[in-house]
Amino acid sequence: MVAAVIAAFNGSLDTWRSLFSTVLPGYIWNTIQLVVFVGLGTAVVGTSTAWLTVAYKFPGRRLLEIALALPLAFPAFVLAYAYTDLLDHPGAVQTVLREVTGWGPRDYWFPEIRSLGGAAAMLIFVLYPYVYLLARASFLRQSSTAYNAARTLGSTPFRAFLSVSMPMARPAIAGGVILALMETIADFGTVAHFSVPTFATGIYRSWFAMGDRAAAAQLALCLLMVALLFASLERMQRGATKRHPAGKKVELAKRIQLKGLPAFAATFACLLPVLIGFIIPLVVLFNMALDSGQSPLSSRYIGFMENSIILASIAAVVTVTAATIIGFCARIAPSRASRFATVIAGIGYAVPGGVIAIGLLVPFAKLDNVIDAWARETLGFSTGLLFTGSITLLIIAYMVRYMAAALNAFDTGISSIKINIDNVARTLGRTTGSIFFQIHLPLLRPSLLTALLIVFVDVMKELPATLIMRPFNFDTLAIQAYRLASDERLVQSAVPSLLIVLFGLIPVILLCVTINRGHR
């Protein structure tokens, strides 16, 4: 990111003027619309479904509380491919509509899937699990004392939820929405497929199609400023209203049994996001995969799977470990420097992976050249490329890209642990290390599991940085899906896309089962 900033300021003013007079207003307006739609959509869908599954009993609840997290395993661009195949003019839905009614192509109106609204819908139903998982974990940790007090004072369940439960869960909800918004402004595959010009598409177009690295770096700088603004506002708001479980003793609320129409409405409200974000696209992709003639058990695809799992596992552990260290240091020794460090560490989530890749490749390539030149002159042999094109540098790119996800999950958990607990532990002679391992770590386990899940699944789906920085002949499932789709072989791309979803499902289900344990 530093390299991108330096390149942006090295660009001429003519480049800035050209951007302002041509494409920049459209990029800004489209990005703002996406941010508003996705922010509102993920907040409403994620929070409402999390509260319904925590506070009420209704048919299918136990299954739906796991199923609601499943769209997290879907890459947004894969969802876009599936719904394009289903809803576009030659797709199954419009074809059946014309056959049933006898209408011609101009005799009816049908919503255009290849539009900004279509891109926003794809992002909402892929990203709402960020809000759902974090909000649900927060609701499960809340004591029912304050909620029950509000009910005894005459508040309706909905009013008690808005005035008591929602404020206590606000850090979790805000963290999930911020993650969704950062992912939205950095998304490339979905908006590019739907031909929606945003900052992300502008960066790729400037860098790779037009070869104008200065313009790409300047657009990337705009994204960095937006990401920093999001992170700063969220942390300022969180710091102004710290929330902890009310009551001296955490008493878990008993779920209210719904019957009749309310029970049906609750089931439908939780089932609809699962249908749109998981079941329907899964069926479409499965039908496409059957027609592709490819076997997911071939040695070629087994190699893709191994590479993807290795990268995702290492990146998840490294990123969550680094986020825990940063977050815990900010907790133990709060200062302006520590707060600034956590904000800076979290802004990479809004930067396209390709920009991070280039920003890392430039300085490390120079470092490789310096080391190689020194070795040739001093030792008489060539060291070659030590960092460039290595898994180590690729893991660093993942850590920069997804640090915000791990930090938000960590902060959501640590915000529920009162600072007085640390002070009491110190008066009893506990060291900083024992405070973390004996007190914080057991309480943070659900949040850290959430962080591991988010990073693992995101790395499985990540494309640009992997495409640019991967070692030679080290392809992943995402790269294979991209290559086939870019060649207009969408049917064949369904197989690697389904495998990405499959491997993403395993940690999602394990996480939900772990969080739900003891909260039935």
Q: pLDDT of 499-520, one tens digit each?
A: 888 887 777 777 666 655 545 5
Mean pLDDT, range 209-231, rounded to an integer? 70
Nearest one of 355, 450, 398 to 131, comparing CA atoms? 450
Lowest mean pLDDT among 9-23, 119-133, 160-174, 433-447: 9-23
Most confident of 37-51, 153-167, 409-423, 447-461: 37-51
What residue spans of 333-390 are helical by DSSP H? 336-346, 353-378
Chain segment 25-36, per-residue pLDDT in tens:
888 899 899 999
Q: Are 191 and 110 in contact (CB under 8 A)?
A: no
Q: Would the pLDDT of 237 be above 80?
A: no
Q: Once rounded to an integer, what is the mean pLDDT over residues 190-194? A: 84
Side chain identity at 240, as an amino acid letter? A
Cα 146 from chain centroid (whole Å):
32
What is the reported pLDDT for 240? 43
pLDDT for the residue numbered 1? 59
Per mean pLDDT, which range of 67-76, 122-131, 205-214 is the poorest? Answer: 205-214
In CATH, what number is assigned to the domain containing residue 244? 1.10.3720.10
Mean pLDDT is lowest, of 63-67, 349-353, 461-465, for 349-353
| Selected residue with higher pLDDT from 130 and 345 | 130
Averaged confidence pLDDT in the chain: 80
Which pLDDT value is given to residue 514?
62
What single-letter DSSP state applies at residue 245? -
pLDDT in tens, 415-426: 778 778 888 888
Query: Which residues form the domain of 488?
Result: 2-516
For the purposes of burial, counting CB atoms within 10 Å of the CB of 443, is it exposed (0-12), middle (13-18) or buried (19 or more)?
A: middle
CB 141 within 8 A of CB 169: no
338 band by pLDDT with thresholds 50, 70 and 90: confident
Q: Give dist(CA 3, CA 359) in Å, integer.
A: 5
- The lowest-confidence range among 123-137, 187-201, 222-236, 239-253 is 239-253
- Higher-pLDDT residue of 445, 160: 445
Number of domains in the chain: 1
Q: Which two tokens stand for residue 81?
A: 């491919």
Give 248's pLDDT tier (boundaries 50, 70, 90).
Answer: very low
Q: Nearest 5°: CA angle at 358, between 356 and 363?
A: 105
pLDDT of residue 123: 95
Q: What average pLDDT score do residues 268-296 get?
A: 90
Residue 188: name the closest of 400, 6, 356 by CA: 356
Q: Which of 38-47, 121-130, 147-156 has the weakest average pLDDT?
A: 147-156
Looking at residue 347, the DSSP 8-state letter turns out to be: G
Of the candidates 166, 186, 180, the one whose C-alpha atom is nearest the C-alpha of residue 36 is 180
pLDDT of residue 145: 65
pLDDT cut 90: percent of the chain above it: 16
Name residues whose C-beta falls within 8 Å of residue 379's C-beta, 6 or more positions apart in sequence. Answer: none
Quote the CA–CA distance of 461 and 455 in Å, as a whole number: 10
Q: How many helices and strands (H and E) does the chain possess?
A: 25, 2
Mean predicted confidence (pLDDT) in 18-42: 87
> Which of residues 409 and 228 earns the better pLDDT score?
409
- Higher pLDDT, residue 76 or 217: 76
pLDDT at 16: 61
Share of the chain above pLDDT 70, in %: 84
pLDDT at 238: 55
Length of the chain: 520
pLDDT of residue 507: 74
**What confidence score (pLDDT) does residue 246 get?**
45
Quote the tokens at residue 447.
């949040």
- Token pair in block for residue 249: 């003793």
Backbone angles phi, psi at 325, to 5 degrees: -65, -45
